Amino acid sequence: MDGFRKTSDPVEIAQLATKSKSPLAELYFTKAGGISLKWHHYLDIYHRYFTSYRNKPLRFLEIGIFDGGSFNVWRPYFGEQATIYGIDIEPTSAAKVEALGLNCHGRIGSQADPDFLRAVVAEMGGVDIVIDDGSHVAEHQLTSFRTLFPLLSDGGLYVCEDLHTSYWEGDWQGGYKRPGTFIEVTKDIIDSLHAWYAPIKNDLSDMQLHRSVPAIHIHDSMVVVEKAAVEPPVMIIR
C-alpha cells in the first residue's frame, strides 16, 4: 500500500509548486510569514470552490489557525473586502494573527463550544465560508458542523478537512466505519439529501439538510458542503 508523507525540503517543495496551477497555490508557495501546513492537493481544490468569492464582501472563518500562517494566503487571495477571522485554543494564536498586520482577527476558544462559535459569528456579522482545520477530533468536528452550518449564509460553503483522521483510532476518535467520525457524518449528509424520496433517520435528521444542502463534494481528506435553500424536486413529464 502506498503511504502519505510530509516534506519540508526546499527542493521538493519547489518541485511541488510547479505542479500547482491555481493563483491560490502560487500565493501559498510565495508568501512568507508564519507556519502553514497544508496537503499539496488542497491548494487547487480550494481555488476550485473559492474563486467566485474573491474581491467581494466575504465573511470567512477558519477553525485552527496556529500562528496565522494561512492568513498570508487568504488575505491577498480574497482581497481587502473580506472579513477574515480564525479561532484556536492556543492562547498565543490571536496575538500572532493581529501581529501580521493583515486586518485579520484571531479569537481564543474551543470549536467544541457552541456558545463561543455563535459569539464569533455574531461578531463577524455572519459567515459565508467555514474551514474546519481544527482539532480533527470526531466529536469536535460534529459539534462545529451542527453549530455553524445553520448560521452559514445562503450560497455559503462549509469545508471540513484532514478527514483521514476519521480512519485513525485513539485521540482522533476514528476508525474504519466507526460511527461518529466525520466520514460517517458525510455519509449521513448524503443520505439526508435524499429525504424527499424515503424516510431517512440518522443523527442529522433534525437539521433537515435536504432543504438546505444542494450539493456535497468529496475529495481526499476533504468534504465541501454547499448551503442554499432547496425546493422539493419536480419530475417533469412532457
> Which secondary structure element, helix H or strand E, spans residue 29, and what is its range?
helix 23-30
The grid cell for 34 is 508564519
CB atoms within 10 A of CB 198: 7
Query: How distant, in Å, are the alpha carbons of 65, 87, 176, 194 from that of 90?
Result: 9, 9, 30, 40
Whether 92 and 34 have beta carbons less than 8 Å apart is answered as: no
Distance CA 27, CA 14 (A): 13
The bridge status of strand 222-226 relative to strand 216-219 is: antiparallel
- Catalytic pick from 40, 41, 105, 136? 136
Q: Please, where are the H alpha helices in 158-212?
A: 182-192
Distance CA 103, CA 122 (A): 18
Identify which of 29, 142, 123 has the alpha carbon closest to the alpha carbon of residue 85.
Answer: 123
Whether 105 and 97 have beta carbons less than 8 Å apart is answered as: yes
Whether 42 and 161 have beta carbons less than 8 Å apart is answered as: yes
Give yes or no: 136 in active site. Answer: yes
The set of catalytic residues is: 136
